[in-house]
């Protein structure tokens, strides 16, 4: 790239600019960068700070009027874009007893990870799934869904959606259902019984890209981590990190977002790690730190239960757990893998 402005070239750029053209050589190194250009930055939303605002939102607007009463977790570098990391949307949704969030469907896929409360449900295509803290719930692309609350006290969950990816591809569609609720057509637990036992009904040809199990209960996943932890089979970078799977094809539970539950035993210090996927974390149990360190620059986020934080792509980081910790996370890794683009680096 030329160091000093060259008047002939500048004049040329203006002339071709009038014809909607631009010189590649001025931008080639930004465009074909040596390493990823990540816009989002590491950031943590402390639940003690967030919760009062979330509860206040409950006095200002009903779930029905809002359609979805959500405070979007916007990355500081991406304000106004409804993005939590470059490729993913995340928000905290509040529903109060007796409320309904009316039925709609959209091409972006959604996941819910339950933060607090009990006895609210998500109904997917007419089957209710009741939600408890730590449960991982899926709303597949284009599936009718509504939320309701049959319990007491506020219910809060993390929404994770692939909205930025679907927008980028220009494939966003959405529609509202005529009634608040899609008609019930299966009892709660129907699909979990059908597909959630490493079995399937003989002759069943379910082949959609999203897992038919739309509830992965925390009690089961937590027990799995506990048993794995007992074997002390720790990965140096991840502790114990399990991926939620689609039971019929063995792939990830969702086609556009990879989803994980991870245990970091008390005192665990991971080695450095980075990967090209962009991730959002929800802390379920315990406390600790994540240390980002690159080219001598270091920053630390301290997390505890119910906090949320970002790990943007290609940010080198390590984890430290002060007490037994469990982290849920989701990322765009599966999209990058399908396109042959995903890379990781273990160690520094």
Residue 339 C-beta: closest distance to ligand GTQ, Å:
25
Residue 200 C-beta: closest distance to ligand GTQ, Å:
28
Ramachandran angles phi, psi of 44, nearest 5°: -125, 135
What are 158's two structure tokens?
């993390």
| Residue with Cβ nearer ligand GTQ (84 or 191) | 84
- Residues 276 and 314: beta-carbon distance below 8 Å: yes
- 147-176 residues in contact with ligand GTQ (CB under 6 A) are 159, 161
- 127-146 residues in contact with ligand GTQ (CB under 6 A) are 145
| Residue with Cβ nearer ligand GTQ (137 or 221) | 137
How far is it, in rounded angstroms, from Cα 2 to Cα 167?
Answer: 36
3-state secondary structure of 245: strand
Which residues have C-beta within 8 Å of that of residue 171, sequence separation ≥ 6?
Answer: 107
**Binding mask of the shown chain, residues 199 to 238, with x at each position contacting ligand GTQ by CB under 6 A:** ----------------------------------------
Residue 70 interacts with ligand GTQ (CB under 6 A): yes or no: yes
Residue 101 C-beta: closest distance to ligand GTQ, Å:
6
| Residue with Cβ nearer ligand GTQ (110 or 335) | 110
DSSP letters spanning 280-293: EEEEEE-EEEEEEE
Question: Kindly report the CA angle at 163 between 306 and 112, in degrees rounded to 5?
Answer: 35
Closest CA to 112 of 234, 10, 259: 259
3-state secondary structure of 106: strand
Question: Kindly report the CA angle at 256 between 136 and 280, in degrees rounded to 5?
Answer: 55
Residue 263 interacts with ligand GTQ (CB under 6 A): yes or no: no
- 264-283 residues in contact with ligand GTQ (CB under 6 A) are none
Residue 216 C-beta: closest distance to ligand GTQ, Å:
17
**Binding mask of the shown chain, residues 77 to 116, with x at each position contacting ligand GTQ by CB under 6 A:** --------------x-x------------x---x------
How far is it, in rounded angstroms, from Cα 54 to Cα 306?
Answer: 13
Using Cβ positions, the residue closest to ligand GTQ within the complex turns out to be: 159
Which residues have C-beta within 8 Å of that of residue 194, sequence separation ≥ 6?
Answer: 200, 201, 204, 212
**Element (DSSP H or E) covering residue 192:** helix 190-195
| Residue with Cβ nearer ligand GTQ (176 or 300) | 176
| Residue with Cβ nearer ligand GTQ (48 or 67) | 67
Residue 121 C-beta: closest distance to ligand GTQ, Å:
12
How far is it, in rounded angstroms, from Cα 127 to Cα 193?
Answer: 13
| Residue with Cβ nearer ligand GTQ (100 or 208) | 100
Closest CA to 116 of 89, 90, 149: 149
Residue 132 C-beta: closest distance to ligand GTQ, Å:
18
| Residue with Cβ nearer ligand GTQ (106 or 308) | 106
How far is it, in rounded angstroms, from Cα 279 to Cα 243?
Answer: 14
- 30-69 residues in contact with ligand GTQ (CB under 6 A) are 68
Residues that bind ligand GTQ (CB under 6 A): 68, 70, 91, 93, 106, 110, 145, 159, 161
């Amino acid at each position: 790239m030329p160091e000093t402005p060259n008047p002939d070239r500048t004049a040329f750029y203006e002339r071709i600019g009038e014809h909607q053209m631009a010189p590649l050589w001025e931008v080639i190194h930004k465009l074909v960068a040596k390493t990823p250009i990540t816009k989002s930055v590491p950031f943590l939303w402390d639940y003690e700070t967030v919760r009062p605002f979330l509860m206040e939102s409950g006095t200002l607007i009903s779930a029905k009027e809002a359609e979805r009463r959500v405070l979007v977790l916007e990355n500081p570098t991406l304000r106004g874009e409804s993005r939590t990391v470059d490729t993913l949307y995340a928000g905290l949704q509040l529903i109060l007893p007796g409320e309904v969030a009316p039925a709609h469907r959209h091409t972006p896929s959604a996941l819910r990870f339950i933060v607090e409360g009990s006895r609210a449900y998500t109904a997917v295509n007419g089957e209710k799934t009741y939600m408890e803290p730590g449960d991982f719930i899926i709303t597949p692309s284009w599936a009718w869904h509504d939320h309701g609350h049959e319990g007491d006290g506020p219910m809060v969950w993390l929404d994770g959606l692939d909205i930025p990816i679907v927008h980028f591809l220009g494939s966003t569609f959405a529609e509202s259902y005529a009634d608040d609720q899609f008609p019930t057509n299966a009892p709660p637990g129907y699909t979990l019984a059908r597909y959630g036992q490493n079995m399937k009904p003989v002759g069943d040809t379910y082949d959609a890209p999203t897992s038919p199990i739309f509830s992965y209960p925390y009690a089961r996943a937590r027990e799995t981590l506990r048993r794995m932890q007992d074997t002390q089979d720790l990965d140096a970078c991840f502790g114990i990190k399990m991926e939620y799977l689609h039971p019929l094809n063995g792939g990830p539970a969702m086609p556009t977002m990879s989803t994980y539950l991870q245990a970091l035993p008390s005192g665990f210090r991971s080695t450095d790690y980075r990967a090209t996927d962009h991730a959002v974390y929800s802390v379920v149990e315990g406390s600790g730190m994540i240390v980002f360190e690159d080219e001598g620059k270091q920053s630390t986020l301290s997390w505890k239960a119910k906090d949320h934080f970002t790990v943007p792509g290609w940010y080198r980081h390590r984890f430290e757990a002060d007490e037994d910790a469990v982290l849920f996370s989701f990322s765009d890794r599966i999209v990058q893998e399908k396109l042959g683009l995903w890379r990781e680096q273990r160690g520094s």
